[in-house]
Amino acid sequence: MRGTPCLWLLDAAYRRTYDDRRAYMNTMVRGLIGAAIGGAIGYFAFHWITRQGFYGLVLPGAFLGIGARLCARDGSTPLAIVCAVTSFLLGLFAEWRFAPFVADRSLAYFITHIHQLRPITLIMIAVGAGLSFWLSFRPTGTMIGNR
């Protein structure tokens, strides 16, 4: 053990009891279910707001992160990464459904021509993904009032 401190740290990092793994998986599953529900609410809220004349492409990502955090109760890095990637994809999907390209309305064309979207659209999708990451990541004990 004296000559291999890195191996000892790695071994300690991967040692978890059965209950810890089960609790971790419960957190992930609850978080993903909450993310799906929050993402759906955000998607429909985005379409409702666009019909009112506003443009809130941040909503699908933000609601996805809120749903994940509320259902998981504890933030985790893998959950936050999954939420951010899913939020980015959901933002692209919402934009495609709201305003597909005139030349070709297919999703494949939209994905291959993302670089032609307006900068504010890309910024709002990125902000939604960032919010989703941040809202679902917060480690336990950093919420206001938990000191």
End-to-end CA distance of the chain, in Å?
36
Q: Residue 143's pLDDT is what?
A: 47
Q: Residue 51's pLDDT is what?
A: 93
Answer for the pair 27, 79: CB distance below 8 angstroms, yes or no: yes
What gap in Å lies between CA 99 and CA 94, rounded to an integer?
A: 8
- Residue 115 tokens, joined: 């670089």
The residues, any chain, with a CB within 8 Å of residue 121's CB and separated by 6 or more, are 57, 95
Provide the residue type at 129 as one letter. Answer: A
| DSSP letters for 57-83 | TTHHHHHHHHHHHHHHSS--HHHHHHH
pTM of the full predicted structure?
Answer: 0.78
Q: Residue 74's pLDDT is what?
A: 75
Pick left, alpha or beta for residue 145 (phi over 0 → left; psi -120 to 50 → alpha; otherwise beta): left
Helix (H) or strand (E) holding 7: helix 5-14
Q: What are the sequence ranges of the domains in the chain?
A: 28-137
The residues, any chain, with a CB within 8 Å of residue 33's CB and separated by 6 or more, are 71
| Binned average pLDDT, 10 residues per bin, the chain of 147 residues | 52 56 84 95 95 93 94 84 95 92 89 92 95 82 47
